[in-house]
Amino acid sequence: MTEPSTEYDIVIAGGGMIGSSLAAALASLELRVAMVEAVDRGAGEQPSFDERSTALSRSTQRSFEALGLWRDIAAASTPIARIHVSDKGRFGFAHIDAAEQGVEALGYVCINRVLGSVLAAALAEAENLKQYCPARITGVRRGPNTSRVSIRHADGREEQLTARLLAVADGARSTVRDMLGIGVRHSDYGQKAITGNVLTERPTDGCAYERFTEDGPIAMLPITNGRTAFVWIAGSREANRLMELDDTSFTAELEAAFGHRLGGLSRVGSRSAYPLTLSRAVRLTADRAVLVGNAAHGLHPVAAQGFNLGLRDVAALCDCIADELAEDAAADIGAPAMLGRYAAWRKPDQQKLVTFTDGLVRLFGSRRKSVRVLRNLGMLGFDLIPGVRRSFARHTMGLAGRLPRLARGLPLRTPAP
Ligand X SMILES: Cc1cc2nc3c(=O)[nH]c(=O)nc-3n(C[C@H](O)[C@H](O)[C@H](O)COP(=O)(O)OP(=O)(O)OC[C@H]3O[C@@H](n4cnc5c(N)ncnc54)[C@H](O)[C@@H]3O)c2cc1C
State the residues that interact with ligand X by CB under 6 A: 13-19, 36-39, 46-48, 52, 54-55, 136-137, 169-171, 175-176, 193, 195, 231, 274, 293-294, 301, 304-308, 310
Question: Which residues are CB-neighbours of 368 under 8 A, at least 6 positions away?
Answer: none
Q: Is 148 left (phi over 0), alpha (psi -120 to 50) or beta?
A: beta
Write the CA distances from 7 to 130, 158, 162, 163, 246, integer angstroms.
Answer: 11, 15, 5, 6, 53
Q: Is 278 left (phi over 0), alpha (psi -120 to 50) or beta?
A: beta
Whose Cβ is closer to ligand X: residue 17's or residue 254's?
17
Whose Cβ is closer to ligand X: residue 170's or residue 324's?
170
C-beta of residue 292 within 8 angstroms of C-beta of residue 277: no
C-beta of residue 136 within 8 angstroms of C-beta of residue 111: no
Q: Residue 14 CB, nearest distance to ligand X (Å)?
A: 3
Whose Cβ is closer to ligand X: residue 19's or residue 92's?
19
Beta bridge partners of 161: 6, 149
Nearest CA to 290 among 278, 281, 299? 281
Q: Residue 136 CB, nearest distance to ligand X (Å)?
A: 4
Helices (H), 275-335: 306-327
Whose Cβ is closer to ligand X: residue 153's or residue 372's?
153
Omega of the bond leading into 134 within 30 degrees of 0 (cis): yes
Whose Cβ is closer to ligand X: residue 309's or residue 325's?
309
Whose Cβ is closer to ligand X: residue 93's or residue 274's?
274
